[in-house]
Structure 1
């Protein structure tokens, strides 16, 4: 694991050194001592494994360099879909709770409160539909990438052709 990879992964996630240390169950001093400069982390295998696991569980993939490309980091494909699915489920859960509250208190609810609740439910329903569309679009994008030819004519979206 390269020092630059850890710094880049933290930047993708918006994490401080303290946040990474906490999530990896290592000391902040270890991160501060290891991260600066170039080259590889020289920590123990256990510490490296904890750091890698923390980053990967947050959805960042550490990419090993090969051929003419160096090591790097990227969001893992599955984590993007998992985040969208989580958001969709949370929105749908909130919508269900509000609908239940609306039904339970319909008789005693003030008209302006009922109108506000209807507007909130409409906004939540719209958010759920848009998030569901994003999940579907993400799946279509992953299918598109999977169908790209592996013959070296393209490295994917935005790649320079040789």
Structure 2
């Protein structure tokens, strides 16, 4: 399976940062946060949230946004399931929810869309947090092992 350009850029950036002395744990947390917030069930906010996180925590902006970009298709796939689960928890009827109905709400005006979908988004966000908290720990741990292995290759002179 061919690897995407964004993936290759991410790997190259990780190698560069390792050679500059950036700690593997900082790189792993940057990628993990990019993946985590890249799947948030609210369209259009991940880039802004991640930029703020990168500035606040002094993380690499390019890596965090590349990770965000790489998981964007996953955000699209998980958006409706998060909202539907939110509907189940909030006792709202979300079983008929579709991308078309969401677009219809958006066409009627953002205030109407917010009134109709606000609760579902709130509950979807809670489910997203429940889903991502344990997954982010696992993701961080796996990434840290991979990056440490890459670091050993880079500093031993073997380039993979």
TM-score past 0.5 threshold:
no
More helix by share: 2
When normalised by structure 1's length, the TM-score is 0.26
Task: Answer with 1 or 2: which has the greater Rg.
Answer: 1
Structure number with greater CO (CA < 8 Å, separation at least 6) is: 2
When normalised by structure 2's length, the TM-score is 0.27
